[in-house]
Amino acid sequence: MTIPAGATLSLELKSALASDTSTVEQPVNATLVDAVSVGGQVALPAGSEVTGVVTEVERAGRVKGLAHVAYRFDVAHAEGEIYHITTAPISHTAEATKGDDAKKIAIGAGAGAVVGAIFGGGSGAAKGAAIGGAGGTGVVLATRGDEVKVGPGTKVTAQLTAPVTVRVRL
């Protein structure tokens, strides 16, 4: 029986992946959550193991550059058989932290203005705001954004990019 290209595999990850610890070619393991059927007949039963590799890893940047991890699956183990499959890459990208970065700069500027006003009046407040804002900017430049972490148990969907012929036991 042939599973056509474009068929989807509902998977549950067994591996942990993270943009700050995973490496390219690291093994990735998952199991089929739902059976894959063709014409009403089960081609790959639920619980079948699917394995693949990490294909891309990008750590979070300091001002720009979002953390990212991608992987694909290339082998399915079902009922004692091994099938070579090809899936489209699955990727996870961190959320942007621009709002958090702006808050850090604003908090630094506000704190600097308060301290400057206490010690130097109106002109001290302006100088303190500038110095505090620069300090907040320094914090933003020195810290990385959020990393991507995908744990075991995460549900993902992989799509076959090529047909796969499997043996069906009657």
Query: How much is the average pLDDT of 130-135?
Result: 55
Let me know whether 125 and 83 are in one domain: no
Query: How much is the average pLDDT of 139-152?
Result: 71
117 inside domain: yes
pLDDT cut 70: percent of the chain above it: 69
E strand spans, the chain: 2-3, 8-13, 17-18, 27-32, 36-38, 41-44, 49-58, 68-78, 81-84, 90-93, 149-150, 155-159, 164-165
Query: How much is the average pLDDT of 71-76?
Result: 98
Q: What is the pLDDT of residue 140?
A: 40
Instruction: Please classify residue 133 by burial: count the beta carbons closer than 10 Å to its beta carbon, then call 0-12 exposed, 13-18 middle and 19+ buried.
Output: buried
Beta bridge partners of 9: 158
Let me know whether 57 and 133 are in one domain: no
**Is the model's pLDDT at 139 over the cut of 50?**
no
Least confident of 37-46, 83-92, 134-143, 157-166: 134-143
Sign of the Cα pseudo-torsion (6, 8, 14, 17, in order): positive
Higher pLDDT, 86 or 59: 86
Let me know whether 32 and 71 are in one domain: yes
| Domain hosting residue 106, numbered range | 98-144
Query: How much is the average pLDDT of 101-125?
Result: 53
Let me know whether 67 and 114 are in one domain: no
Let me know whether 112 and 85 are in one domain: no
170 inside domain: no
Q: What is the pLDDT of residue 157?
A: 97
Question: How many independent structural domains does the chain possess?
Answer: 2
- 38-73 pLDDT per residue, tens: 999 999 999 999 999 999 999 886 555 789 999 999
Q: What is the pLDDT of residue 168?
A: 82
- 28-37 pLDDT per residue, tens: 999 999 999 9
Let me know whether 123 and 40 are in one domain: no
49 inside domain: yes
Helices marked H in 4-145 — which ranges? 98-142
Residue-level length of the chain? 170
- Residues sharing a CB contact under 8 Å with residue 80, sequence separation 6 or more, in sequence order: none
Angle made by CA atoms 16, 73, 44, in degrees to the nearest 5? 110
- Residues sharing a CB contact under 8 Å with residue 77, sequence separation 6 or more, in sequence order: 48, 49, 50, 51, 83
**Is the model's pLDDT at 120 over the cut of 50?**
yes
